[in-house]
Amino acid sequence: MKNSRAKTIQLTLSYLVILFMFAIILYPILWIVGASFNPGNSLSGSSIIPSDATLSHYKELFDLEKSDYLLWYWNTLKICFITMVLSVILVSLTAYSFSRFRFVGRKNGLMTFLILQMIPNFAALIAIYALANLTGLLDTHLALILVYTGGAIPMNTYLMKGYLDTIPKELDESARMDGAGNFRIFWQIVMPLAKPIIAVVSLFTFITPFTDFILARILLRTEEKFTLAVGLFELISGQFGNEFTKFAAGAVLIAIPIAIMFLSLQKYFVSGLTAGGTKG
């Protein structure tokens, strides 16, 4: 009887903690959504459910004569997709090499990646700016794509290598006995089994350009090339920048492609969890 009562109390406390954390996470999201429908430019009177809700801020964002928001959105999506594709290709090849082959410098390479993943990109802002200036890539999207892709390799290589190590090497040996080469083994055997971790890497590298402000602010100069983070900052950073409710509307719209990306890859996350749970 005492054990049953203790379990009930423990379960109740667990649910209370979960609800409390859920409220902490959900409240700012609901508040910014409510602010985006709030009339005027100030956030001082904003609430989760505005009394006089309006879509005027969203209409202004989509008005090409009043805002460059759609252009910033396109710039960000372009950078995100190119960064994601390049990162997945390079990380997959690098992780497969470290997982399946033994070569001179392998341990030193892994150690270098371990050190590099501890250093954020903005710690090398001066070097990145100087390199972009010397190579003529300053104020270009290519500079951002190269920096994001290079920065994604160390951490995601470790992540994918750990997953590839769980795939039995006997599959490689069987395919090699049938005459398959390394690239065919990589493409037709290992990669199909690594779809869950590829989905994770894809999501991580897709989100980065949406959430990054510092690198984009340093490398981009003209308004036509701004990403969403930099463009929205310009709405409220100028001398007369007081369009906070429009900023809130723009911030809400940023979540749409990230949510779509997550939902489209969710089945691979689930399959990865179930596959990991049934391996003996």
Per-residue pLDDT of the chain (280 residues; tens, 9 = 90+): 567 777 888 888 989 999 999 889 888 888 888 888 888 776 666 667 777 778 888 888 888 887 889 999 999 999 999 999 999 999 999 999 999 998 888 889 888 888 887 877 677 888 899 999 999 999 999 999 999 999 899 889 988 998 899 888 888 888 888 888 888 999 988 998 898 899 989 999 999 888 899 999 999 989 899 999 999 888 777 655 677 888 888 989 998 999 999 888 888 876 554 443 334 3
Q: What is the torsional sign of CA 223, 224, 225, 229?
A: positive
Contact, 95 vs 166, CB < 8 A? no
pLDDT at residue 146, as a whole number: 94
Instruction: Please name each of the domains of the chain with its CATH number.
Output: 2-56 (no CATH), 68-242 (1.10.3720.10)
Write down the pLDDT at residue 202: 93
Dmax over Cα atoms in the chain, in whole Å? 75
Distance of CA 238 to the CA centre of its chain: 28
CB burial of 5-43 (b: ≥16 within 10 Å; e: otherwise) equals eeeeeeeeeeeeeeeeeeeeeeeeeeebbbbbbbeeeee
| Burial tier of 90 (Cβ tally within 10 Å: 0-12, 13-18, 19+) | middle
| The pLDDT value given to residue 227 | 94
Query: Taking Cα atoms as reference points, which of 205, 167, 202, 204 lies closest to residue 186?
Result: 167
For residue 248, the model assigns a pLDDT of 87
Answer yes or no: are the C-beta atoms of 248 and 35 closer than 8 Å: yes
Structure-token pair, residue 251 = 């911030």
Distances (CA, A) of 150 to 54, 83, 84, 154, 272: 42, 9, 11, 8, 26
pTM over 0.75: yes
Nearest to 189 by CA among 209, 152, 164: 164
pLDDT for res 241: 60
Nearest to 247, CA basis, from 28, 75, 42? 42
CA distances for 270 relative to 168, 200, 232, angstroms: 21, 11, 35
How far apart, in Å, are the Cα atoms of 166 and each of 109, 159, 199? 20, 12, 17
SS3 63: coil
Kindly list the distances between the CA atom of residue 195 and the CA atoms of 155, 192, 206, 247, in Å, as whole numbers in the listed order.
18, 6, 16, 36
